[in-house]
Amino acid sequence: MKIALLSIHIIVTIILIALILLQNSKGGLQSGIGGSQMYRSRRGAERIVFIGTIGMAILFLITSIINLVVH
């Protein structure tokens, strides 16, 4: 049981890292200081990657808590 949970946690972690690396790097602190673009909606693949990142982050949190409780 513990090995299966750790395997799922590792897979979720790898997918989360990949999704974060796929994110568009034009946002964040640089655009806030520069003020070049205040708001832009996400469309197409960018939206799917963004929603997938949120989903994987939630799954990462859940698997972390489960691994902590099962230990």
Alpha-carbon distances of 38 from 27, 32, 53, 54, rounded to whole Å: 10, 8, 22, 22
Please give the Cα distance from 11 to 24 (Å, whole number): 23
Stronger pLDDT, 71 or 47, i.e. the higher one = 47
* Tens of pLDDT, residues 10-67: 999 999 999 999 987 765 555 555 555 556 677 888 889 999 999 999 999 999 999 9
CA 52 – CA 18 distance, rounded (Å): 11
Domain membership of residue 21 as a residue range? 2-70
Q: Can you give the pLDDT at residue 39?
A: 61
Q: Is the pLDDT of residue 71 over 60?
A: yes
Beta strands in the chain (DSSP E): none
Instruction: Return the pLDDT at 55.
Output: 96
pTM for the full model? 0.74
Tally the domains of the chain. 1
